[in-house]
Amino acid sequence: MKILVTAKRVPDPETTIKVNADGTGIEEAGIKWVVNPFDEIAIEQALQIKESQGESEVVIVSVGNSDSQEQLRTGLAMGADRAILVSADNPDPTVVSRILEKIVEKESPDLVIMGKQAIDDDSNEVGQMLAQRLGWPQATFISELELADGGGSATCVREIDGGLETLSFPLPAVITADLRLNEPRYASLPGIMKARKKPMEEVDAASLGIELGRSVTIVSVEPPPERAAGRVVESVDELITALQGEAKVL
């Protein structure tokens, strides 16, 4: 079966983020960039399916500028077979879903696996919009996946507020990965060497025949308020007095 996986270039979650000078985004200079952590989980899941099904192909797609080649190479080093980089400048989630729809139409995968959200803008909407555009079944936030009927259908478990929900649906479908789906593998040295020779196709988003402008404008970005310094109390009585009088939580 053919599995399409998405990988977004995002700042390393360990990086200290600063808001840029005009307050419309983050300061990008000097940041370490990685594959969106939920997308690494999606790649791992695709590789596990390939290993269990055999005769499968894992194609990894990123939408962004040429710097995203680095994240695609990471996915190839993990074990994906080939990569597609769609060049688009600062696309919003709606535009990304339109671009992915075109790539899916061209590639005809049996399954699309995506992260449940990108950790930079936390939009949590690209997977849902893509499934809707394609008219395919979707299962979001999945923590377990099992294929049946020789890859013709799937059963997913997803975490919901009250517990767990199990869904079954025919393929092709779009699924989005939650944190507990698996533990992504590290790229091995042989994997990194092999990745250099794997194909990476570059597609100009403008050639896909879709409107590329942003439908949403980011008006402002603010950092969370600075946390006040903590204080060491001498006794339980002092703690209770502080919780009642200062923090007013008791």
Ligand X SMILES: Cc1cc2nc3c(=O)[nH]c(=O)nc-3n(C[C@H](O)[C@H](O)[C@H](O)COP(=O)(O)OP(=O)(O)OC[C@H]3O[C@@H](n4cnc5c(N)ncnc54)[C@H](O)[C@@H]3O)c2cc1C
Which residues of the shown chain bind ligand X in the complex (CB under 6 A)? Answer: 159-161
Residue closer to ligand X (CB basis): 161 or 211: 161
Nearer to ligand X, 160 or 249 (CB): 160
Residue 126 Cβ vs ligand X, minimum distance, rounded to whole Å: 15
Q: How far is Cα 116 from Cα 113, in angstroms, rounded to an integer?
A: 9
- 79 by DSSP, 3-state: which? coil
Minimum Å distance from CB 159 to ligand X?
Answer: 4
Q: How far apart are the first and last CA of the chain?
A: 58
Residue 70 beta carbon to ligand X: minimum distance, rounded to whole angstroms: 32
Cα separation of 208 and 125, whole Å? 21
Give residue 9's region: left, alpha or beta (phi > 0; psi -120 to 50). Answer: beta
Beta carbon nearer to ligand X, 107 or 125: 125
Which residue number, 4 or 130, has a Cβ lying nearer to ligand X?
A: 130
CB of 44 to ligand X, least distance (A): 20
Q: Where are the alpha helices (DSSP H) in the chain?
A: 37-53, 69-78, 93-107, 126-134, 189-195, 236-245
List the helix and strand counts (H, then E) for the chain.
Answer: 6, 11
